């Protein structure tokens, strides 16, 4: 049996899933921003990239 050293932080699985989802969404925002013609993304485009409307309707897919 391997035991993590005391100085190593152990992250619960649900926190790890949340962190991975946040990283994925940030990546999607970066891709959308780099493809945008203007200087900034509009609030509507940000909502579209982050699938905000789908989350309100319960349409978010989660792998964890």
Query: What residue spans define the domains of the chain?
Result: 13-56
Q: What pLDDT, on the 0 to 100 scale, is given for residue 11? A: 66
Residue 26: which residues within 8 A CB-CB, separation 6 or more? none
Helix (H, G, I), strand (E, B) or coil at 29: helix
Q: Taking 60 as the threshold, does the pLDDT of residue 56 lie above it? A: no
Helix, strand, coil percentages (3-state) for the chain, rounded to 5, are 55, 0, 45
The pLDDT of 35-60, averaged and rounded, is 79
Asked whether 54 and 60 are in contact (CB, 8 A), the reply is yes
């Amino acid at each position: 049996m391997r035991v993590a050293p005391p100085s190593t932080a152990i992250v619960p699985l649900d926190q790890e899933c949340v962190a991975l989802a946040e990283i994925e969404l940030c990546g999607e925002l970066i891709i959308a921003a780099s493809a945008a013609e203007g200087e900034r993304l509009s609030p509507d485009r940000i909502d579209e990239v982050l699938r905000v409307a789908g989350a309100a309707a319960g349409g978010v897919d989660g792998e964890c």
